[in-house]
Chains A and B, each alone.
Chain A
Amino acid sequence: KQEVTQIPAALSVPEGENLVLNCSFTDSAIYNLQWFRQDPGKGLTSLLLIQSSQREQTSGRLNASLDKSSGRSTLYIAASQPGDSATYLCAVRLRGVSLSGTYKYIFGTGTRLKVLA
């Protein structure tokens, strides 16, 4: 059974610091991996999507990497700002041969980031 883990559960950093958020998954047979941001009381906003055939994706100050063999993805945030404070979640889309297994995403429980001014 696919499990997705995000450690640490919470992180505080001073403004301007570069930081890395981690996402681990137990089964490498994934279709893609998606990183989200969630602000308190709000929905999830997609940040980056990495296909299983890709190694990384970049958007602005964000860079996400994927290493399927080790079951890990990292989200790198450069020059962090107080506005980056939010919960960051990763989700893997399963790859399966059955209809019931092919369309599901498994989510981690997130890392709550606080960037201090």
Chain B
Amino acid sequence: NAGVTQTPKFRVLKTGQSMTLLCAQDMNHEYMYWYRQDPGMGLRLIHYSVGEGTTAKGEVPDGYNVSRLKKQNFLLGLESAAPSQTSVYFCASSSWSVSYEQYFGPGTRLTVT
């Protein structure tokens, strides 16, 4: 049982490049979340999903897109990276079966130059 995994762990992009971050969970959780963590700002919700095939915007969705084609995977895409998107990105999952307790992945550190 790996829990929540994220790929890649580190990435450096140039402004304007695109990339996709992959989150996978093996706990059969319904809900999945993407957060970014910046110094002094805490964790902020980018997008979330309440089930396969559904996504919704969080606090800071601009510049990001997401997809949840399979229940266990939640993808975060950056179509045209900007330096303001330099951050640490965390994926999390939860379920009603565990009282909506959130489980987090190890994070992806992204630098946009």
Closest A residue by C-beta to B92? A44
Q: Is B105 touching A43 in the complex (CB atoms < 8 A)?
A: yes
Closest B residue by C-beta to A50? B99
Min CB gap B101→A, angstroms: 5
Q: Is A43 touching B90 in the complex (CB atoms < 8 A)?
A: yes
Q: Is A45 touching B50 in the complex (CB atoms < 8 A)?
A: no
Contact partner of B101 among A34, A41, A109, A110, CB < 8 A? Answer: A34
Min CB gap A30→B, angstroms: 11
Contact partner of A91 among B4, B40, B102, CB < 8 A? Answer: B102
* B106 contacts across to A, CB distance below 8 A: 42-43
Tally chain A residues at the interface, Cβ within 8 Å. 24
**A46, CB-defined interface residue at 8 Å:** yes
* A89 contacts across to B, CB distance below 8 A: 42-43
B-contacting 9-mer, from A15-23, A72-80, A97-105: A97-105
Tally chain B residues at the interface, Cβ within 8 Å. 24
SS class of chain A's interface: helix, strand, loop or mixed?
A: strand
* B92 contacts across to A, CB distance below 8 A: 44
Expressed in whole angstroms, the Cα–Cα distance for A99 and B106 within the complex equals 28
**A51, CB-defined interface residue at 8 Å:** yes
SS class of chain B's interface: helix, strand, loop or mixed?
A: strand
Expressed in whole angstroms, the Cα–Cα distance for A105 and B45 within the complex equals 8
**A68, CB-defined interface residue at 8 Å:** no
Contact partner of B42 among A32, A45, A108, CB < 8 A? Answer: A108
**With A103-B31, A103-B48, A109-B41 known to touch, is A46 a contact of B90 (CB < 8 Å)?**
no
Min CB gap B5→A, angstroms: 10
Q: Is B104 touching A44 in the complex (CB atoms < 8 A)?
A: yes
Q: Is A105 touching B102 in the complex (CB atoms < 8 A)?
A: yes
* A42 contacts across to B, CB distance below 8 A: 106-107
Closest A residue by C-beta to B91? A43
Contact partner of B99 among A43, A49, A109, CB < 8 A? Answer: A49
**With A32-B99, A45-B104, A46-B103 known to touch, is A104 a contact of B40 (CB < 8 Å)?**
no
10 more CB-based (< 8 A) A-B contacts, given A46-B101, A107-B44: A32-B99, A46-B102, A100-B56, A103-B31, A104-B48, A104-B58, A105-B33, A105-B45, A108-B42, A109-B41
